[in-house]
Amino acid sequence: MGVAVKIAPSMLSSDFANLASETERMIQFGADWLHMDIMDRHFVPNLTIGAPVIESLRKHTKAYLDCHLMVTNPIDYVEPLTKAGASGFTFHVEVSKENWKEIIERIKLGGMRPGVALKPQTAIEEVFPLVESENPVELVLVMTVEPGFGGQKFMPEMMDKVRKLRRKFPSLDIEVDGGLGPSTIDMAAAAGANCIVAGSSVFGSADPAHVILELRKSVQEAQEIN
Ligand code: DX5
Ligand code: ZN
């Protein structure tokens, strides 16, 4: 038995003009979480959505909103996202070296679930203290592309990070994000990822429910072997 499988379509690839119906559609197709990419055009060269959109969306869905903060000052977003009704709050380790303890504390006080993300060039060891802390993060997001845009190519060399994490933390939620789809999922599943973000592969498919099912099956099968 492994850690619970979570398939999280990235709403970055959805039709933002119809976000409520897009989220509803994904839940009907079998999604566990909805991955919300929040970008500030500073930490990454793209600008997407923020707390006001999460707040509007929350009025239309009870789903778990897995927020991925690609922003330079994550602490400034904790209060607005708490009020907006976010579920998970995953910040980047690269911009939180000085204040991660305070960020985690505030996320938990707000009733959200804390996670930490790392970019491809960041060593996995940098997140260990956050997982081993007395007040730890509950999820580690391993970026498998450079953050900023959907539709990029999966970086298989990131799987070493996932393997190292899984060996050290058997029950941790390990999320992979970027370039995941039916052709790459087996690598991530074998390495030990259990939370799978998928944008273009799900939204670009004529049968998103089938893609979600395939992703889930692959993770379940890998967990049975290991
Ligand atoms: C990229 C975002 C991802 C992105 C994934 O910076 O963090 O969540 O939407 O999209 P795909 O699955 O298309 O690579
Ligand atoms: Zn993301």
**pLDDT over threshold 70, residue 107:** yes
- At residue 219, φ and ψ (nearest 5 deg) are -65, -45
The number of residues in the chain equals 226
**pLDDT over threshold 70, residue 148:** yes
Q: Cβ < 6 Å from ligand 1: which residues?
A: 10, 12-13, 35, 37, 68, 145, 147-152, 177-180, 197-201
The DSSP code for 10 is: B
Per-residue pLDDT tens over the stretch 6-30 = 999 999 999 999 999 999 999 999 9
Query: Mean pLDDT over residues 93-103, rounded?
Result: 98
Per-residue pLDDT tens over the stretch 65-88 = 999 999 999 999 999 999 999 999
Kindly state the tokens that stand for 131: 């997982």
pLDDT given for residue 78 in this prediction: 98
Rounded Cα gap, residues 180 and 41, in angstroms: 23
Rounded Cα gap, residues 209 and 185, in angstroms: 15
Alpha carbon of 135 to those of 7, 94, 107: distances in Å?
A: 26, 19, 11
159 contacts: CB under 8 Å, gap ≥ 6: 187, 188, 190, 191
**pLDDT over threshold 70, residue 1:** no
Per-residue pLDDT tens over the stretch 46-68 = 999 999 999 999 999 999 999 99
User: Which residue, among 103, 133, 123, has the nearest Cα to 165 in the 3D structure?
Assistant: 123
Q: Is 177 a catalytic residue?
A: yes
Query: Mean pLDDT over residues 186-200, rounded?
Result: 98
Distance of CA 139 to the CA centre of its chain: 9
**pLDDT over threshold 90, residue 221:** yes
Query: Which of 6, 10, 40, 176 for a ligand 1 pocket mutation test, highest count of atoms within 8 Å of Cβ?
Result: 10
Burial of 67 (0-12, 13-18, 19+ CB in 10 A): buried
pLDDT given for residue 182 in this prediction: 98
pLDDT given for residue 226 in this prediction: 79
Where would I find the beta strands (DSSP E) of the chain?
Answer: 6-9, 33-39, 64-70, 88-92, 113-118, 139-143, 173-177, 195-198
- For the CA of 143, the closest atom of ligand 1 is 7
Q: Count CB neighbours of 171 within 10 A.
A: 9
Q: What is the mean pLDDT of the chain?
A: 98
The residue whose CA has the least distance to atom 7 of ligand 1 is: 147
Total-model pTM: 0.98
